Amino acid sequence: MTSSRRLFLTALGLGTVPVWLAGCGFQLRETKDFAFKTLYANFSTTSPLGVELRRNLLGSGRIELWTDPKQMLKADAILDILGEERQQVAVGVSATGQVRELQLRLRVRFRLRTPQGVELIEPVALFQQRDLSFTETAALSKEIEQGILYRDMQTDIVQQIMRRLSAVKPRNTPQPA
């Protein structure tokens, strides 16, 4: 096959890919619009969860995030992280009593409210869990794996929070008097 014919067929094949993707309904993820323009972050922006949540909120480019307590009453909405719990539960032990399997759990409670106290999202708990096999001989590598699993669960929870924040409808937000 000549190189010009091969080039033509490759170009023709690549040209049909965008048409095929558009026809199947494929669409890149977009940042959602939020019902509020300013959000007061009533959570620790230095905790791992707070850092990731802050990065996602600012990364959307559609929200101005405030952390100064003086600005809380001027914000359109207030995001409260009510609690974050990390647990390790032994779910499997050997005949000698050594732990063989752990279950890692991450639970985050949050709510969204207006400065006037109207709750836009009632207090809700999000829960993630992962199983981790454990051996004493590989304790250091299992500790690193545990950190990776906690970070993965945290990312999932932050994405769930972002989806719930974007689901708040503008008509639910009270208009200032």
pTM exceeding 0.85:
no
> If pLDDT is split at 50, 70 and 90, which confidence band does 173 have?
very low
Each residue's pLDDT tens digit, 113-164: 999 989 999 999 999 999 988 877 777 888 899 999 999 999 999 999 999 9
Sheet holding 99-113, edge to edge: 64-66, 38-42, 77-93, 99-113, 119-133
Q: Quick check: 52 pLDDT over 90?
A: yes
Q: Quick check: 18 pLDDT over 70?
A: no
Taking only Cα atoms into account, the Rg of the chain, rounded to an integer number of angstroms, comes to 23
Task: Please give the share of the chain, as a percent, with pLDDT higher than 70.
Answer: 82
> If pLDDT is split at 50, 70 and 90, which confidence band does 16 have?
low
Tell me the mean pLDDT in the region 9-13: 70
Q: Quick check: 172 pLDDT over 60?
A: no
Measured CA to CA, the distance from residue 134 to residue 138 in angstroms comes to 8
Strand partners, 102: 90, 132
> If pLDDT is split at 50, 70 and 90, which confidence band does 106 have?
very high
Task: Round the average pLDDT of the chain to a whole number and report it.
Answer: 84
Measured CA to CA, the distance from residue 141 to residue 14 in angstroms comes to 44
What local confidence, expressed as pLDDT, does residue 108 receive?
96
Tell me the mean pLDDT in the region 106-119: 94
